Amino acid sequence: MNKVLILGSNSFAGSCYVDHLLNNKYQVYGVSRSKERKIAKYKFNKNIKNFKFIKADINKNIGVFKKLILENKFKYIVDFLGQGMVAESWENPQDWLKTNITSKTELVNFLLNKKFLKKYIRISTPEVYGSSSAKMDEKKSYNPSTPYAITHMTIDKYLEIYNKQYKFPSVILRLANFYGETQPLYRIIPKTISAIINKKKLPLHGNGKSLRSFIYIDDFCSAIYLAMKKSKNGKIYNVSSKEIISIKNIIKLICFKMNYDYKKLVKIKNDRKGKDFKYFMNSNKIKKELNWKNKTNLKKGLQQVIQWHLENLKFLNKEKNIYIHKK
């Protein structure tokens, strides 16, 4: 049984990919600095016995990462790890630099010339490109506008250079906004659903004018899995749906589906610093080379997430709906 290491397995994306791998009969190890979420998707997987969790902070316990890798000789490492909030990166940029660049590069250097490693999948973000009204392919130049985006751009470029210089087996995926069941309540879609259920006001920054593409978590995971299994090393892929929607309109769509008055829900607030207006990624490359496509449109995906929230209020009422930054 092939072993896969998931860095940042407690993140929403990481935990859902753990679940995806368990469904495909892999032996999975996950590392995160915080304890496991009770509603992580993999917790309900029938193959949960094939998952092992290790609590470790890459900034404080990188030796744990190295020992784990040497002991298990992972064929695949999938990297979701990092400081991941945009607005908060302005307040403590040094934390983003330390985690996303300094500690990550130490780990990559350690992995050099490890012959057992066949592929290092790096989960990146379209924010490295900056805002763009035209479709962005993988050759678009970097233009980050926040400390968060700068750190992600840096580690991406580092991996690109290491692939060219040392043939380091990296593959980079830049994925659109993703959503799905079990997503933390401080993200816009679950936050909106939760606010409606609890009849609370929803802060809407900049009147929700920003345009985004949203991709359902199952399609997100299938793209990563295809890259892990089929992609050549050194590749970079954009992963997005063709549906572009404003934050305001996605909230309105949720309100419509839940029969709730949008005007009663939202409270307009000032926009966040350096917020990009639009990401419009071209995903033709991954569709052509790996035969990937997103199967769940936004209306269907939202309905599934709303239904899951309504069915799991007992768990969700115990979840925090604000992000708390950890050094």
Please give the model's pTM, rounded to 2 decimal places. 0.93
310 and 245 in contact (C-beta within 8 Å)?
no
Task: Report the Cα–Cα distance between both ends of the chain, in Å, rounded.
Answer: 36
How many angstroms separate the CA atoms of 110 and 207, rounded?
45
| pLDDT digits 0-9 by tens, 229-287 | 999 999 999 999 888 899 999 999 999 999 999 999 998 877 665 555 667 789 999 99
How many angstroms separate the CA atoms of 325 and 327, rounded?
7
Q: What is the pLDDT of residue 206?
A: 76
pLDDT tops 90 at residue 113? yes
Q: Which H or E run contains 228?
A: helix 217-230
Place of tokens 């309100």: 255
| pLDDT digits 0-9 by tens, 50-68 | 999 999 999 999 999 999 9
Taking Cα atoms as reference points, which of 254, 239, 176, 242 lies closest to residue 208?
254
Contacts of 278 (CB under 8 A, 6+ apart): 131, 132, 133, 210, 211, 212, 244
| pLDDT digits 0-9 by tens, 297-316 | 999 999 999 999 999 988 78
Domains by residue range for the chain, with CATH: 3-178+214-239 (3.40.50.720), 184-212+243-278+296-316 (3.90.25.10)
How many angstroms separate the CA atoms of 253 and 247, rounded?
10
Strands (E) located in 114-193: 119-124, 170-175, 177-179
